[in-house]
Amino acid sequence: MPETDTERRLIAAGVELLAEGGTDALSLREIARRAGVSHGAPRRYFPTHRALLAAIAREGYRSLAALVRPTSGHDPRQAVLEMARQYVDFAQREPGMFALMFRHDLLTGGQMGLRDASTPLFGVLVEQLDRAAVPDPPVTAAALWAGVHGIAQLWQWGSMQVVTGSDDPGPLLAATVRAHLP
């Protein structure tokens, strides 16, 4: 079902607030104020606060999906490495959105099509691993994603910079990709 103008405004306001203040800034009242609607309006369009958060997170998945689309002509290993770099870059540029996108409570129950927006990203990774002829691409993709996500999260917290003494996650990403695509 297409979104109404008010739904789009509420989601856009939430995306803006998230970029400015992180997940703590996402109160229904503040989203409504920013969208220029009454404080009760979000409940008319989203059954719960969680549903509105899921709709906002869906925008993050759409943005991330636009970044991690490798072309079919690339070597799968290079394509996966580029996807990993884009993933970590996204986490650095959009820390609030990145945190919201991986809230398990929003993923359960198919809130606002969030699962439908998130699973194609995993499918792109599985396709690349299948092209690279790795055994059991879905399992390898899950392990690779866990590694890349861990690097992104630890990089956000500053932990990786401390232990590596570097401001460049590239070598860690390359090692992670090599470990799964020898």
Which pLDDT band holds residue 174 (cuts at 50, 70, 90)? very high
pLDDT of residue 112: 65
The domain containing residue 166 runs over which residues? 67-180
Whether 114 maps to a domain, the answer reads yes
pLDDT at 86 over 60: yes
* Alpha carbon distance 25, 60 (integer Å): 16
User: Do 179 and 145 form a contact (C-beta atoms < 8 A)?
Assistant: no
Locus of tokens 């992180």: 22
Question: Within a domain: residue 54?
Answer: no
pLDDT bracket for residue 74 (50, 70, 90): confident
Distance (Å, whole) CA 127 – CA 137: 8
C-alpha to C-alpha distances, 89 to 66, 67, 77, 86, 114, nearest whole angstrom:
13, 10, 18, 5, 21
- Kindly report, residue by residue over 122-173, the tens digit of the pLDDT: 999 999 999 999 999 999 999 999 999 999 999 999 999 999 999 999 999 9
Give me the pLDDT at residue 9, please.
95
| Residue 62 placed within a domain | no
Number of separate domains in the chain = 1
Answer yes or no: is 9 within a domain: no
What is the per-residue pLDDT across 10-22, written as a single tens digit (0 to 9) for each?
999 999 999 999 9
Residue 82: pLDDT over 80: yes
Do residues 27 and 36 touch, judged by C-beta distance below 8 A?
Answer: no
How many CB atoms within 10 Å of residue 64? 21
Helix (H, G, I), strand (E, B) or coil at 39: coil
Other Cβ atoms less than 10 A from the Cβ of 139: the count is 12
| Residue 134: burial class (beta carbons within 10 Å; 0-12, 13-18, 19+) | buried
pLDDT for the residue numbered 180: 95
CA gap 12, 135 in Å, rounded = 41
pLDDT tens-digit profile of 24-45?
999 999 999 999 999 999 999 9
pLDDT digits (tens, 9 = 90+) for 89-129: 999 999 999 999 988 776 565 566 777 777 888 999 999 99
Asked if residue 139 is part of any domain, the answer here is yes
| pLDDT of res. 70 | 64
Look at residue 173 and tell me if it is in a domain: yes
pLDDT over 90 percentage in the chain: 70
The domain that holds 142 is classified in CATH as 1.10.357
Query: Is 4 exposed, middle or buried (CB count within 10 Å of its CB: 0-12, 13-18, 19+)?
Result: exposed
